[in-house]
Amino acid sequence: MLYQYLTVAIFLLGAVGVALGALATNWVLRPKRPQVGDQRETYECGLTTKGPTWVQFRISYFLYALIFLLFDVETVFLYPWAVKFQVLGLFAFIEMVIFIAILILGLWYAWKEGGLEWL
């Protein structure tokens, strides 16, 4: 029993050692000169920024991302179910109908609250 824990501990120490070794090698080989002038400026799309660089984004961007994630997860669960549809039987079909109904309810709520409007 302890032999299995020893194997896991050796792999864990090896992983930590490789990570620390990579960081140490990077620190030793990196250029040591201080940054001066334009190197410390904010650089975006090849153009010098105008105005403040910290800008607040509208919440609608995040709502779109969450709704996309919701339906992306739905797709991840639907594909394996569709592949094994014939084997799973009636119980799995009823469960998937309930799952899809909950997702449709979420889409309806997002639509009702205006989460899908791009203004």
Q: How far is CA 64 from the centre of its chain?
A: 14
Residue numbers in the chain where pLDDT is lower than 70: 35, 37-49, 53, 119
DSSP reduced 3-state for 5: helix
Tell me phi and psi for residue 48, to 5 degrees: -70, 135
Instruction: Say what the pTM is.
Output: 0.47
- Residue 48 DSSP code: E
